[in-house]
Amino acid sequence: MSSKAPELETLLSRKYQHGFVTDIESDSLPPGLDETTVTFISRKKREPQFLLDWRLKAYRHWLTLREPSWATVQHPPIDYQAISYFSAPRTPGDAPKSIDEVDPKLLATYEKLGIPLHERARLAGVAVDAVFDSVSVATTFKDKLAKAGVIFCSFSDAVRDHPELIERYLGTVVPPGDNFFAALNSAVFSDGSFVYVPAGVRCPMELSTYFRINAAKTGQFERTLIVAAEGASVSYLEGCTAPMRDENQLHAAVVELIALDDAKIKYSTVQNWYPGDEHGVGGIYNFVTKRGECRGRNAKISWTQVETGSAITWKYPSCVLKGDGSVGEFYSVAVANNYQQADTGTKMIHIGRNTKSTIVSKGISAGHAVNTYRGLVKVLPTATGARNFTQCDSLLMGSRCAAHTFPYVEVRNPDATVEHEASTSKIGEDQLFYCLQRGVSAEDAVNMIVSGFCKAVFKELPMEFAVEAQNLLSVSLEGAVG
């Protein structure tokens, strides 16, 4: 393979394609964090008192916590006082009332990102909520969704229009004090998405949120809350991009999913935050807490993620399987190239009887990257008949990268079955050679082999995003073989 290396290096040196900055005047807070910052955000968003109290409590708790150190990630200390906790694109007067009032430059940004934001440019009936820096700018297809009884709006709108739902569900899956980053998010979250699918309703379209960090020296702290009532079902996708900047930016989101009896939530992520350049300069710190709770019988929560971006990813989308017969799934592709660090995985907590979980994780490391799978399968004494199957594979490309696998399997019920399999190997030289001998270019061969490796995960993505994910993967791995 070595003779092929220089050629591949060139082939694979394509640049981050979403690295443009949109020139919009932002309405930003100066960097710094104290109780006045928290109060400012809450007041700015005209939140009810309960939410301000909730934020302040989270903030005070955050002060008592220390940044977690158990992950295998390394970064210079983050100065939380150097981050701006609020950055809203400035709009003339009030917030836009319809898509037509949104700043055209912003719309152009989304066009560049390929997001089907504008209703006229709708793509396959996907409803999109776009979060730009910290504020949700537009939610499409509101009317059609409203007809079905589905609430899909920015988190701020939900606080204004459905405070009772927010008060009832917010923080019930990820409590404000859950961990360092969740506490920080709870104190300063600026916006995000809210979905409520009422009992018996099958959400008529895919829901989607695109997140973008634009302003410099800002952090993004969005919060997503999805509730599927009895018998409801919804499929939700988030995508993320950020401009190229040579400082690191912090993204600390919290996602909470709640599925009641017989409800189904499918949550897909295509994460392409700016990963930093090939020397490891810049890039997003993606420290995210995602957790779903199957609260009802036969509920199902399925996480699918394709993680190609960010300088550091620290996230473990998890399922708490409380309801009898409930099902949790985690399908993940994590790619780390150059100096990226990914520490990701899941937790499956089996509480109810006959609960089932499946974990399929595919990690790809290239360059100097470190890719870690970290997962917990816990079967409590109450979870009679619980089953888990975990498949966890790592692919190494290049001799300077690292792949780690840290599963924890804790079983306390004798009538449970838990199976875990893992493998780590380098990209198959035989397979590569076979492809080359058949005249396939090295780049295509790598792409073919890698996408074959990831197939079990891609097939879980909604179709229109599977293609995007595939493309992202090949872009991310540029320069990886040598």
The residues that touch other proteins, with contacts defined as CB under 8 A, are 70, 381, 394, 396-426
Residues in the chain: 482
Between 203 and 396, whose beta carbon lies closer to other proteins? 396
Smallest separation (angstroms) from other proteins to the CB of 364? 11
Between 89 and 398, whose beta carbon lies closer to other proteins? 398
Smallest separation (angstroms) from other proteins to the CB of 422? 5
| CA 184 distance to own-chain centroid | 17
Smallest separation (angstroms) from other proteins to the CB of 386? 10
* Cα–Cα distance measured from residue 284 to residue 344, given in angstroms and rounded to the nearest whole number: 15
**Radius of gyration of the chain measured on its C-alpha atoms:** 22
Nearest to 339 by CA among 76, 79, 74: 74
Smallest separation (angstroms) from other proteins to the CB of 416? 6
Return all residues near 200 (Cβ < 8 A) that are at least 6 apart.
229, 230, 231, 232
* Cα–Cα distance measured from residue 265 to residue 151, given in angstroms and rounded to the nearest whole number: 15
Instruction: Write out the E strands in 157-253.
Output: 192-197, 207-212, 223-228, 233-241, 248-251
Smallest separation (angstroms) from other proteins to the CB of 387? 9
| CA 318 distance to own-chain centroid | 12
Between 48 and 407, whose beta carbon lies closer to other proteins? 407
Between 125 and 381, whose beta carbon lies closer to other proteins? 381
Q: What torsion, rounded to 10 degrees, do the Cα atoms 305, 310, 312, 314 define?
A: -30
Query: Quick check: 156 and 191 in contact, CB under 8 A?
Result: yes
Nearest to 195 by CA among 138, 260, 129, 261: 129
Backbone angles phi, psi at 179, to 5 degrees: -155, 175
Between 209 and 388, whose beta carbon lies closer to other proteins? 388
Question: What six digits make up the tokens of 11?
Answer: 């082939």
* Cα–Cα distance measured from residue 273 to residue 271, given in angstroms and rounded to the nearest whole number: 6
* Cα–Cα distance measured from residue 189 to residue 146, given in angstroms and rounded to the nearest whole number: 26
Q: CB atoms < 10 A from the CB of 428, how many?
A: 13
Between 109 and 394, whose beta carbon lies closer to other proteins? 394
Smallest separation (angstroms) from other proteins to the CB of 74? 14
Smallest separation (angstroms) from other proteins to the CB of 377? 9
Between 69 and 98, whose beta carbon lies closer to other proteins? 69
* Cα–Cα distance measured from residue 338 to residue 401, given in angstroms and rounded to the nearest whole number: 9
Backbone angles phi, psi at 299, to 5 degrees: -75, 160
- Directed axis angle between helix 429-437 and helix 442-458, to 10°? 120
- Directed axis angle between helix 442-458 and helix 463-476, to 10°? 140
Smallest separation (angstroms) from other proteins to the CB of 430? 13
Between 209 and 354, whose beta carbon lies closer to other proteins? 354
Smallest separation (angstroms) from other proteins to the CB of 72? 8
Between 36 and 423, whose beta carbon lies closer to other proteins? 423
Smallest separation (angstroms) from other proteins to the CB of 423? 4
Between 282 and 323, whose beta carbon lies closer to other proteins? 323
Between 113 and 364, whose beta carbon lies closer to other proteins? 364
3-class DSSP state of 69: coil
Smallest separation (angstroms) from other proteins to the CB of 83? 29
